[in-house]
Amino acid sequence: MSKRLEVKIGKLTLKNPVMTASGTAGYGAELSEFFDLSRLGAIVLKGISLKPWPGNPPPRIIETPSGMINAIGLQNVGLKAFIDEKLPFIKKFDVPVIANVLGTTVGEYAKLASRLDEAGVDGIELNVSCPNVKKGGIAFGLDLKAFYKLIRKVRGCVKQAILIVKLSPGAPDICEFSRAAEDEGADAISLINTIPAMEIDISCRKPSIKNVIGGLSGPAIMPIALRMVFQASRAVKIPVIGMGGIRAGEDAVKFLLAGATAVAVGTAIFVNPRAPINVIEGIEDYLKRFNVEKVSDLIGGLQL
């Protein structure tokens, strides 16, 4: 296969820069009915915690103009069931597997990371930006001191896998947090997670989702994501994985030009499960149309 689309994240070489965004691809089984998962640059799986989590009570989602708000609350099978039941399936594909983890304490993150590293995942994405869980998670993504401490500890536990830190769009200074992740040895940062948001049903004067506040995703947030990826990528030397509203090759190219090394497709998968493939093909079309030799030539290629 042509190496035209190849990019590198830490020691990991991706055959193309397109991943799934955590929480939009489950653990792979459902999407595999729609396309060959081996075509992805990497698959980022649904976030997992130490113990199974039931998630938030329904209703959990509401559509808003060009986007949606969700408060799933990290419903997941827990670390043990993930390693025993979910990981073997996805490892059958020729695709780097990135596990997304969320803990309520530094110790939980560390345990998750070291167990998954031993279990042979290719990457670990630290979720310090989920707006929908009560404890932990986003608290680490908004407090710089706690953030430093967390990444230092987890870095020490991860030997084989690459370590990615997923940043919150609510971070007081995205550049500062990006540099902190880099300083503590993260191989990459990913952004943005969903943006805290809400919707109201005026017929019953109630919030549209039970959790009241959820995370906004989809094309509605793309300009914000693009701006933050642009800022973050200028603050660090490690690769940035950009996401937020990407649904076509053109969108991905914008993120690459803004400074992302790779991109993730999220909400667009809900609309069309083959969206990541459309994005890969759209990037290829762009390279041909504009006579660009390889995708890595686009990274940070924005002309100011």
Partner 1 sequence: MSSPSLFKAKVIKNARLNVEHFILSVRPEGIMPAAQPGQFFMLGIPGRLDPLLKRPFGYFRVKEDALEFLYRLRGKATAIMSVLDAGDEVEIIGPLGEPYPLPKPKKVPLLVAGGTGIASLYPLADAFGGEALILYGGRNSDELLLTEELRGICRVLGLATEDGSVGVKGTVIDLLKEFLAGKNKNRHVVYACGPRGMLKAVSELGLEGYVSVEERMACGIGVCLGCAVKTSTGHKRACKEGPVFRIGEVVFE
Residues within the interface to partner 1 (CB under 8 A): 23-26, 30-31, 33-34, 46, 54-55, 57-63, 65-68, 70, 72, 75, 218-219, 267, 269-274
User: 190 to each of 9, 99, 164, 203, 288, how far by Cα in Å?
Assistant: 11, 13, 7, 38, 27
CA–CA separation, 215 vs 194, rounded Å? 5
Contact 243, 190 (CB under 8 A): yes
Query: Please, what is the minimum distance in Å from the beta carbon of residue 132 to partner 1?
Result: 11
Query: Please, what is the minimum distance in Å from the beta carbon of residue 46 to partner 1?
Result: 8
CA–CA separation, 127 vs 172, rounded Å? 17
| Closer residue to partner 1 in complex, CB, 115/247 | 247
Q: Given 130, 157, 175, 204, which residue is catalytic? A: 130
Q: How many CB atoms lie within 10 A of CB 293?
A: 8
Report CA 132 to chain centroid distance, whole Å: 15
Q: Is 130 among the catalytic positions?
A: yes
CA–CA separation, 150 vs 266, rounded Å? 26
Of 288, 217, 287, 215, the closest CA to residue 247 belongs to 217
Tokens 């069309």 locate to 272
Report CA 25 to chain centroid distance, whole Å: 11
| Closer residue to partner 1 in complex, CB, 171/209 | 209
Query: Please, what is the minimum distance in Å from the beta carbon of residue 113 to partner 1?
Result: 23
| Closer residue to partner 1 in complex, CB, 54/145 | 54
Query: Please, what is the minimum distance in Å from the beta carbon of residue 246 to partner 1?
Result: 13
| Closer residue to partner 1 in complex, CB, 48/180 | 48
Query: Please, what is the minimum distance in Å from the beta carbon of residue 44 to partner 1?
Result: 12
What is the rounded radius of gyration, in angstroms, for the C-alpha atoms of the chain? Answer: 18
| Closer residue to partner 1 in complex, CB, 31/138 | 31
* Greatest C-alpha distance within the chain: 56
CA–CA separation, 43 vs 40, rounded Å? 7
Please give the positions annotated as active site: 130
